[in-house]
Amino acid sequence: MKRHDLVTRPLTLAALLFCAAYASATFPREAQAGIGFQVERITNINDEPGANSFAIGGLGTREPSFWQHDGQLYFPAYNPATGVELYRYDGVTTSLVADINPGPEGSLPGRGDYPYQEFNGDLYFFASGVDDMGSPVGNELHRLNHLTGQVDLVIDAAPGPDDGSGVGLYPNAEKHVYGGQLFFEANGQLYATNGATVSTLTYDGEVLSNAHIGAEFNGELYFSAYRDSVAGPRLYHTNGTTISEVPNEFSNGTALPGGSQPATRREPFAEYQGRLYFEGRLGDGNTGGQFELFSTDGNSFDIIDVYPGTASSRPHNYKVVGDQLVFIAESEVGGEYTGFELFTYDANTDSSQLISGYDPAGGSFLDDYLGRGTDPIPVYNGMAYVYYNESGLHYTDGATLTPISLPEARSLPIAQIGENLLFYGERGEVALVAYDGTFAQVLETTDSGERYAPLAAPGSRIVLGDLYFEIGYTANEGVSIVATDGAVLHVITDAKVAHPSQSLAIFNDKLFFIGDGNEGRELYAISIVPLEGDANNDGRVDGLDFLVWASNFDDNPADDPPGSPANGDFNDDGVVDGADYLLWAAHFGETGLPSPLATATVPEPTAVSFVWWAVAAWCLRGHRWAGRASQ
């Protein structure tokens, strides 16, 4: 026996016995690894050293717009030779779709309020390019043909280099793909295409212009539009072949006052108990008119006088909650002006009212205090939420308004993760807050002492599976992407967003974002992966995980399911050995999020256990060295 064996073997045995007892009593065998995040660069389109492939505002395009089509991710990007053109990523490689506008000027694809739409297997989008003769055209509708792979000009609505795009493609497929046709607006006119030909929509021989598609209702597509012979917009519907106008009259057969205009606000209509609801103007706009809540069954109109008399209630943002239509409007109650508040309409009683439970002392209604641009009446689990500047967050089932006692809340809910609603709050500073229906907590980062401040912009947040991601700021990491499971925050340190793009996309179960790196401003992807070396599923690779490995060293964990590293078999090869130790050591210090499959809470180790861990590590190392020396 070597002299050093007299020391190392007893110490090693004692340390490992302690580790085994501690780990066996502490760690559940069925635990899964914590959640890790892997960041990879996807593009290097502008391959000049340190140059940008994506705009920061000076490359002729606004924030890049992403679109999934035919199993690929499409987006505009910049290269000096082609300018800003359309690219695609198939999960492995990135390629140029086409040099739509030949030369370095670029086609600037994906412009317009609603930049892309799929139809009959093809991808439609607005871009600048050239016609069949090679003459330049402005921002016009183009099509990527899925059969030929070529990009074609659909129509030159504004002949020559002038732009033909207006509102562009409409936001939801059910609102602009109907009856085997794609409806779109260009150069102020409404068009439809079946993929082979393009037609201008007319009524009584007059071109329909400045259209707004409201909803599909009773098997037909409803939209408002202007025509030359009448003042203001009228409401139309089509079955895909013919176009009809909803008569400008009440349901009792009397005509609407002269100059009345249904569907005056460009927002989606609401279908509620067999009718469509929207804002319209009653009376001539030249003499004032009254903006009120209209409804139609397709044959006539009814008016809900939310603001009694001749004043306008200006209703908008409709939601069906319970058996009520909930919306924002202004009126008078008891002779007092309400400002914009939450109202309800009950079709069963044909009555509208300021929502029950409203307290004037609560202050004025706001769509949001932080994170503006969100839905002003979001609905979660059948409840609609609103925010008041004095009394804070409330919810309603459509019948009454109920306050939520959350002094931290300074915004409407922005997402739901599991049982938790997330919203922005303030406790001396802006923070991200989770609320489970009973308790609220300010989410802290997994790195102790890191203060987190959300960017609080609509395009800076997204949900992927059971996790919520957003762009925010920490003192140590700067502007980065963070992830949360609704309990804790994790800063993805490799996901640097030096100039926040506010454009996040999901593709192939990965999160895509525009970030700044050594190669310039490029496209990156975040994959959700097991946190290697995290045996106790707490989202940290630390000494506790070493204890698990040590307690099962030389064990054959055949009875454990694959991918279950609770036994210390980090590489899942069926045996706990030195290779697993090396994997743990390589990832030591990394953090992520706890596994959602956790079955027990693991206590933090005491100082004594860390001493034993250190002794065990030293002894094992000495034992291995001794073994090698004796060979």
User: Residue 561 falls within a domain, yes or no?
Assistant: yes
Q: 514 and 424, same structural domain?
A: yes
Kindly state whether residues 550 and 620 are assigned to the same domain: yes
* 536 and 487 assigned to the same domain: no
Q: Are residues 612 and 597 in the same domain?
A: yes
**Mean of pLDDT values over 138-158:** 92
Q: Region 528-556: what's the mean pLDDT?
A: 86
Are 424 and 517 in the same domain?
Answer: yes
Q: In terms of pLDDT, which residue wins out, 566 or 230? A: 230
Residues contacting 629, CB < 8 A, separation 6+:
none
Instruction: Report in angstroms the alpha-carbon separations of 405 from 342, 410, 429, 432, 535.
Output: 19, 12, 19, 17, 39
User: What digits encode the pLDDT tens for the residues 453-466?
Assistant: 888 777 788 999 99
Query: Are residues 525 and 425 part of one domain?
Result: yes
**Residues whose CB falls within 8 Å of the CB of residue 321, separated by 6 or more in sequence, listed in order:** 379, 382, 383, 384, 396, 397, 398
Residue 620 lies in a domain: yes
Residue 490 resides in a domain: yes
- The secondary structure of 113-164 as a DSSP string is SB-EEEETTEEEEEEEEE-TTS-EEEEEEEEE-TTT--EEEEE-SS-SSS--
Q: What is the pLDDT of residues 245-285, one digit of tens each?
A: 999 999 999 999 888 888 887 778 999 999 999 999 998 76
Cα 566 to Cα 499, 535, 538, 562, 594, distances in angstroms: 40, 5, 11, 11, 13
CB atoms within 10 A of CB 8: 20
For position 51, what pLDDT does the model report? 83
Structural domain contains residue 277:
no
Tell me: pLDDT of 216 over 50: yes
Where is average pLDDT lowest: 221-225, 397-401, 549-553? Answer: 549-553
Last-in-domain residue among 530, 549, 569: 530
Give me the domain span that covers residue 475.
35-48+417-530
Domain end: 472, 501, 530, which one? Answer: 530
- For the sheet containing 510-517, what is the strand order? 35-41, 520-530, 510-517, 505-507
Same-domain status, 576 and 509: no
Q: What is the pLDDT of residue 621?
A: 45
Question: What residues contact residue 107 under an 8 Å CB cut-off, 6+ apart?
Answer: 83, 84, 85, 86, 100, 101, 127, 128, 129, 142
Q: Is residue 570 part of a domain?
A: yes
Residue 602 has pLDDT above 50, yes or no: no
Read off the pLDDT of each residue in 87-104 and give the average, rounded to a whole number.
Answer: 96
Residue with tokens 């109907």: 178
Q: Is the pLDDT of residue 512 over 90?
A: yes
Q: What is the pLDDT of residues 106-125, one digit of tens each?
A: 998 886 556 788 999 999 99
| 338-347 confidence digits (pLDDT tens) | 888 899 999 9
Tell me the CATH number at 538: 1.10.1330.10
Q: Are residues 498 and 516 in the same domain?
A: yes
Do 451 and 495 fall into the same domain?
yes
Residue 589: inside a domain: yes
Closest CA to 217 of 332, 145, 296: 296
Q: Is the same domain home to 511 and 539?
A: no
User: What are 68-88's pLDDT values in tens digits?
Assistant: 999 999 999 999 999 999 999
Percent of the chain at pLDDT above 90?
A: 39
Report the alpha-carbon distance of residue 604 to residue 609 in Å, rounded. Answer: 10
Asked if residue 302 belongs to a domain, the reply is no
Question: Are 512 and 547 found together in one domain?
Answer: no
pLDDT digits (tens, 9 = 90+) for 360-409: 766 666 655 455 456 788 899 899 998 887 788 889 999 899 988 877 77
In a domain, 482, yes or no: yes
Task: Give the pLDDT confidence score for residue 302 in this predicted structure.
Answer: 96
Does residue 554 sit in the same domain as residue 518?
no
Which is more confidently placed, 619 or 426?
Answer: 426
Instruction: Judge whether 370 and 362 are in contact, CB under 8 Å.
Output: no
| Overall domain count for the chain | 2
The Cα 458–Cα 463 span in angstroms is: 12
Structure tokens at 211: 């259209």
Across the chain, mean pLDDT equals 80
Chosen domain end from 495, 530, 565: 530
